[in-house]
Structure 1
């Protein structure tokens, strides 16, 4: 993630301007050539004769496809099965128990609107999405009305009838907003993907491709296609991965799941350093294995839709059963990868296989609060890192579709009492949090994990129209009690690694910072 300097700000704005303007400019040029050919009646001769003209024609064709594809992404989400009435009540009661000020909570989910701008019908629509995935029927109307009444009781007043002027955040229902990508951009992604593939092969990893391989992904993946032809296939039909064979009988292997971005490029050195730290000096019969799962839907690619929670768990189980020695393992994830970690940790069968977990920049804690959804999808960018997040992550077609049609908050949230249950059953948990994180309010997450009370979402409005969603912590507990930030890491129970000078994902940029994460992984692998 970029720092907030003027040079980086100007650079990212110029890069975005170039990439975003390229396809429209090529389209204008191509249409001009076609217009000239039409009026000159020269269609018997080639219209595009130079490499540059051919390139512009290709960009124009892809731009037209992108505009069509943007409309296709708007199709309705396929929601998970509805919870039972009893489970919905438990979920509502759980959320209510985590809220101190319901007024600020609602204002956060309604994009900072004033309470008087929220009508009763607006509240019904929000609650219908939050607890029924907007699938209420005649039988559940009474239940929904009861929830509205409970909210009004929490508020101490009734909402005005009908609709107000406020609009709530409803990720899986709201229109998906994307920014088109040029062929040049996807060409860069293909180059980066090829470099990553070579680096992993040099570091001794093996690739396991799905049956569809590179044929179901754009841009094409030439090296994975070759590897698929001569190598082994993934036992899971929808998940490709990198693997180093596990042979140790005394130490645990590692499973890694990456976050949103350009794929595995930012993590190659980290995984290589984990490999060296755990295996240097050990013979071939005492090697710690590593599985690194690819999630192409959040890797600046065009491919099939994100797997459902059930499909992900089923296919990951196939992989773990297929590879030797993964009955117990150390789970590591970064950013959006914490969604998949949450799926594994909240599944009673899968969680029994997890001995310890390192969650780097996790986004699934306190997910019932609106700050992550707001900062990732609604906030208008003003700084270098915000523009980087906005264009290269939030508005990427695959990422936007994943968040807008496959991100179900109640399925992805990791409650603290679930973490406490896991720790009581022997799983060690470390959360790595960066103070300057532009997506997650890490101060609040750290306080939440260390049993301080997280309270209210607050839309912070600054000059030049800049807004950010933050959370506040109970004044009685106070943020001044921050000894958890400087506690020595011991490798026991639930712990936090705090990075005071880092932003989201920057812990992977520097070898000295990565070293601390590597030490955590080595300890978890060595001493169960």
Structure 2
């Protein structure tokens, strides 16, 4: 859930970052000032002893845990799925090239924003070895194929790429060194408290928590008391989840996959507003939830475990709702014969999986220097959080998770996204969803503005939230009920949804909705 771009929000985010990153140093500074001003009498006061103890613990936490853990994460090698055949690589390459409007901008951003004069043939080959071959090193054994791809790029560019190496540095997520920043022990304890409160609220509201095996209690920090106390155990070893029994005879159940952040806590208002007779399976993806934990299972294993959960609860006809990182599961669901046959419709909130071959998401998540408050929050809370950075940097393969338009046309799909999404190219995605290409016009943008009034819940549709950033719709008293209504209508058992969403008032006054 991103903040806005005001000065006050920037100061707030900067203060939070400094507090949770440098709490140990702040306590040492307090000790020095207290000793200098008041002497031994002040530093011996119970309050001072408490602050000084926190400082000592935090310094030890940084030295004993953070520094070794950062070294450990950086030593881990990337995990890839099986290598594609040459035919599959050609098909993927040409499909990506055809779905690219500005090839010069595409090339420059994948080269880290370098000038075209700094990009040479070997730079592009190095990038293609990562993108298509899942490897690094010498291109010699695949040079013939790489040259064929370069020829097609040159044809679209309209000029020949110079030979040799240039100063440009290609963007290769699985091989680049990812950035990790420190978080205080207090921060993780805060996350643990929020997680525990989320669990209690959902359990009181009719959800059951299905924990990991009790043997996994010490494999995740902050420790989760409900891993020991909850009576129900997940049917899989890696995934915990919340489940509410499906009772409705008029609706389908819902499967929810959350985004990066602090787990399911931000989704509590959404989960509580879904009608209580509609069954809900909320999957927890712990490695992207600001926790110190084991690595995310490989995509094939992850889908097998989710399939086991869905089969165990007999969810034979469900609506899939993915938010942000959760949209990466869409492609995996569609590739699974078990899950694909049971998934009736799709709702993508703030999708990052659509047009994943474009450099915007990768560049904004790894190379962009944060300037505004929303970018700073994203940088600290997601991009540089140790386990999130590791998951995206070593356990993520873009071609496994990319979602194409024809995938979404295979069933009823609604895409809900903000017009000011700071993470992806929102205009390109909206044009691709509505037109099938990236050549949008301002007339198209006017149609997108009106999309929330004309939504019908049939076919592939876009709901455009003008002026909203990534995740801000969950903060809106206007659009959160609209999202719930969208889910409810997708879940209706009738083959056609009879009426569009009711007209909505303008977005919240607190959020800027200008162009």
Into which bin does the TM-score normalised by the smaller protein fall? 0.7 to 0.9
Q: Secondary structure at the match of 1:269?
A: helix
In structure 2, the residue matched to 1:234 is 234
In structure 2, the residue matched to 1:187 is 189
1:492 deviates by: 0.6
Q: Secondary structure at the match of 1:345?
A: helix
Contact 1:24 1:63 in 2 (8 A): no
Distance 1:492 1:73, change over 3 A: same
Q: Equivalences for 1:442-457 in 2 at 5 Å?
A: 442-454=426-438
Aligned residues: 472
In structure 1, the residue matched to 2:45 is none
Pick which of 18-27 and 347-356 moved more: 18-27
C-alpha separation in 1, matches of 2:115 and 2:141: 32
Pick which of 170-179 and 49-58 moved more: 49-58
1:116 deviates by: 1.4
User: Can you list the C-alpha shifts for 1:58-109, whole angstroms capped at 9, x where unaligned?
Assistant: 2122102111111111122011110011111111111121124322210121
Contact 1:434 1:504 in 2 (8 A): yes
In structure 2, the residue matched to 1:356 is 345
2:450 paired residue among 453, 466, 486: 486
TM-score scaled by length of structure 1? 0.85
User: Can you list the C-alpha shifts for 1:226-285, whole angstroms capped at 9, x where unaligned?
Assistant: 11xxx1110011110000112445531110011011111110111110134xx3xxxxxx
C-alpha separation in 1, matches of 2:17 and 2:131: 34
In structure 2, the residue matched to 1:216 is 219
Contact 1:243 1:291 in 2 (8 A): yes
**Structure 2, unpaired ranges of 5+:** 33-47, 496-515
In structure 2, the residue matched to 1:513 is 479
1:29 deviates by: 9.1
C-alpha separation in 2, matches of 1:521 and 1:17: 39
2:463 paired residue among 484, 490, 497: 497
Q: Secondary structure at the match of 2:275?
A: helix
In structure 2, the residue matched to 1:438 is 422
In structure 2, the residue matched to 1:343 is 332
C-alpha separation in 2, matches of 1:153 and 1:354: 41
Pick which of 481-490 and 66-75 moved more: 481-490
In structure 1, the residue matched to 2:492 is 526
In structure 1, the residue matched to 2:291 is 301
1:289 deviates by: 1.1
Q: Equivalences for 1:400-415 in 2 at 5 Å?
A: 400-415=389-404
C-alpha separation in 2, matches of 1:207 and 1:441: 36
Are 2:84 and 1:118 aligned?
no
Are 2:67 and 1:67 aligned?
yes
C-alpha separation in 2, matches of 1:481 and 1:137: 43
In structure 1, the residue matched to 2:505 is none
Contact 1:309 1:343 in 2 (8 A): yes
Pick which of 365-374 and 100-109 moved more: 100-109
C-alpha separation in 2, matches of 1:381 and 1:210: 36
In structure 1, the residue matched to 2:43 is none
Q: Secondary structure at the match of 1:233?
A: coil
Q: Secondary structure at the match of 1:198?
A: helix
Contact 1:73 1:176 in 2 (8 A): no
1:188 deviates by: 0.7
Contact 1:29 1:56 in 2 (8 A): no
**Structure 1, unpaired ranges of 5+:** 32-48, 280-287, 455-473
TM-score scaled by length of structure 2? 0.87
Contact 2:211 2:226 in 1 (8 A): no
Contact 2:24 2:56 in 1 (8 A): no
Distance 1:481 1:77, change over 3 A: same
Pick which of 202-211 and 101-110 moved more: 101-110
Contact 1:361 1:432 in 2 (8 A): yes
C-alpha separation in 2, matches of 1:61 and 1:341: 42
Distance 1:502 1:156, change over 3 A: closer
